[in-house]
Amino acid sequence: MKKRSRYKPKPVLVNPLHYVMEGLIPVKLHDSYLIDAKIKNHGAMSNLTKGVASRRDMDLLVNMVNLTEALYRLGFGEDYKDVVNAGLDALHEVGKRGVETARFVVKAQEMNDLNLVMELHDAQMELITIKDMERAIKLISREFELKKMRSFREKTA
């Protein structure tokens, strides 16, 4: 049996100029996308503070914090390293407890840290372009493939 080739052809752009021009447009000009994202993220945070968060809510918050960290690493919000790290740690602790107890309950300091990350994320979304968003998503995907992300489930020996 012949081995499969690793070659994957790159996608062909139908309109390369439109692709480049679209990448230069700020995300804040895409009102419908930005409003939908804010509603979903803030709704998930609201459910978490009420103690009724589901796995879907936690997935939304994890995606939001991962995007915030990726944008920080790309240079958006360089002064907020402590906010990003505190938010990552808080979300990790909430998720770890949620896996153990099947309920996602947030403590006061964790809620404060997550609120600060949410504010930073909203501010970043007002500044970035579509191209910056694509770069951040590629960074997240690469880290996921390399298994550099922390898991809620602790590894057992």
pLDDT in tens, the chain (157 residues): 677 888 888 888 898 898 888 888 888 888 788 899 899 999 999 999 998 998 899 999 999 999 999 999 999 988 999 999 999 999 999 988 888 887 898 999 999 999 999 999 999 999 999 999 999 999 999 998 888 887 766 544 3
Looking at residue 136, its pLDDT comes to: 94
Q: How far apart are CA 61 and CA 41, in angstroms?
A: 6
Looking at residue 153, its pLDDT comes to: 62
pTM, full prediction: 0.83
Output the CA–CA distances (angstroms, integers) from residue 123 to 21, 64, 71, 146, in the order listed. Answer: 23, 13, 11, 29
Looking at residue 22, its pLDDT comes to: 85
What's the chain's length in residues?
157
Question: How many DSSP H helices and E strands does the chain contain?
Answer: 6, 0
Q: How far apart are CA 155 and CA 157, in angstroms?
A: 7
Looking at residue 49, its pLDDT comes to: 92
Tokens 């006061």 locate to: 108
Could you report how far apart the first and last alpha carbons of the chain are, in Å? 37
Cβ atoms < 10 Å from Cβ of 33:
14
Q: How far apart are CA 38 and CA 153, in angstroms?
A: 28
Residue 80 contacts by C-beta under 8 Å, 6 or more apart in sequence? Answer: 72, 120
Cβ atoms < 10 Å from Cβ of 94:
23
